[in-house]
Amino acid sequence: MPVIPIVDRKDQKIIHLIRPEVQALKQYHVPPSRGLIKLDAMENPYSWPAYLRGEWLEEMQNVTLNRYPDPESTELKARLRQTFGIPAGMDLLLGNGSDELIQIINLSLRGRDSKVMVPEPSFSMYRMIAAYVGLPYVGVPLNPDFSLDLPAMLAAIEQHQPSVIYLASPNNPTGNLFADGDIEQILRASRGLVVVDEAYTAFSGSSFMNRLGEFSNLLVMRTLSKMGLAGLRLGYLVGPTNWLCEFDKLRLPYNINTLTQATAEFVLRFEDEFEEQIGQINRDRAWLAESIRRLKGTEVFPSDANFVLFRVGKGQADRIHIALQKKGVLIKNMNGVHELLQDCLRVTVGKPSENVAFLSALTSAL
């Protein structure tokens, strides 16, 4: 009798026990960045001023870590309401990053007939999280200028009746805001939920937060990651209580840890510091976009976020991406991710010295 190696038997078990869509997935890849100028992940490049760090450390001395966190994040929610002008009468649900909120929403949807719809290209986790929870996913291509293809979206809504549509505005990786009028028409046409993902709202100033009362199927999702607190992992969802109550049942207890609650509650008192950093990033974005545009053979797409998407010469993106890494600069290669992103690269706005280093590396790599 042939001896079956243990590893083969294990593989058979994986094939039988793990959902096929999970077996087909690839792990979300985070490239190593040690020693590189990191301009790949839309992080705010600035840390806090020394006085703020001092006060924060002082405050952290009183935080108790032997007890579980406040399951309702009561003080933090009050601070978020005050800082971000959450409309009275609207509820608030917190997630371990907005990724977790997307997962909670998708998990709550009824059965395998519930479809997730996203205009594409957009944030890659929308597709991945639909697969995690076993929901069919429908991507509708944007126009070549990355605006919403409204007739195509309306036709796809009519055909697929999605249970949820995710609209990232400003969109990642394209950087543009979608037209308010287009979003309104999608809200009116959809019988399912429409989540307006405002991860980059701090850089655009535009928001659907104050429109929440107008549409019963509108939810607004945000994150603190891009404004400067990526390490805390805190996202928030705003919408009518009847919806958020259902989602809240799927939130794991204590999903927002004590250090995140205490730190976010503390640091959001210093909103002005973040506003100053965001103002600087927006000014530098304009400089960066214009500087890339001046380089021969590049096309720069307008951005309302803290990053810039640009196109290089045909077939050059992969080579340039590697050349930049060799010169110590990590950006994101979007070539091959979607057909509308051919030859495209995405760079996050860094500190002025980092932007200059990137530009000089790009100039010599082109």
Judged by the rule CB under 6 A, the positions of this chain that interact with ligand PLP are 42, 97-99, 123, 168, 172, 197, 199, 223, 225, 235
Q: Toward ligand PLP, which CB reaches closer, 178 or 358? A: 178
Closer to ligand PLP by Cβ: residue 217 or 225:
225
To ligand PLP, the closest distance from the beta carbon of 117 in angstroms equals: 15
Residue 238's CB is within 10 A of a number of other CB atoms, namely: 24
With respect to ligand PLP, which residue has the nearer C-beta, 121 or 235?
A: 235
Residue number with CB closer to ligand PLP (42 or 156): 42
Q: Which DSSP string corresponds to 290-356? A: HHHHHSTT-EE---SSSEEEEE-STT-HHHHHHHHHHTTEE-EE-TTTSGGGTTEEEEE---HHHHH
Of 122, 116, 96, give the one whose Cα is nearest residue 200: 122
Residue pair 175/308 in contact (Cβ under 8 Å)? The answer is yes
Residue 79 vs 226, nearer CB to ligand PLP: 226
Residue closer to ligand PLP, measured from CB, 172 or 190: 172
Shortest approach of ligand PLP to residue 246 CB, angstroms? 21
Question: Which residue, 203 or 358, has its beta carbon nearer to ligand PLP?
Answer: 203
327 and 364 Cβ atoms separated by less than 8 Å = yes
Interacting residues of 34 by C-beta distance below 8 A, sequence separation 6+: none
Q: What is the CA radius of gyration of the chain?
A: 22
Closest contact distance (angstroms) between CB of 349 and ligand PLP is: 14
What is the smallest separation between the CB atom of 348 and ligand PLP, expressed in angstroms? 10
Minimum CB distance to ligand PLP, residue 283 (Å): 22
Residue 9: CB minimum distance to ligand PLP, A: 38
Residue of closest CB approach to ligand PLP: 97
* CA 77-79-81 angle, 5° bins: 70
Alpha helix stretches (DSSP H) within the chain: 6-17, 20-23, 50-60, 74-84, 98-108, 124-132, 150-160, 180-189, 201-204, 241-248, 258-267, 271-294, 317-326, 352-365
Q: At closest approach, how far in Å is the CB of 225 from ligand PLP? A: 3
For residues 21 and 112, what is the distance between their CA atoms, to the nearest angstrom?
13
3-state secondary structure of 220: strand
